[in-house]
Amino acid sequence: MNPPARFLARQKTVAGLVVAALLALGIALYGALPDQMAIHWNAAGNADSVVGKPIAILTMPAVVVFMSLLFEITDADVGERIVGSLAMLLLLAVQVMAFGVNLGYNVPIVPITLALAGGMVAVAVWFEMR
Task: Report how far residue 109's alpha carbon sits from residue 121's, in angstroms, rounded to the nearest whole number.
Answer: 18
Q: Within its chain, how far is the Cα of 108 from the centroid?
A: 16
Q: What is the pLDDT of residues 3-61, one digit of tens each?
A: 878 888 888 999 999 999 999 999 999 999 999 999 999 988 899 999 999 999 999 99
Helices (H), the chain: 3-9, 11-29, 53-73, 78-102, 109-129
What's this model's pTM, rounded to 2 decimal places? 0.90
Single out the residue of 35, 32, 33, 99 nearest to residue 61, CA to CA.
Answer: 99
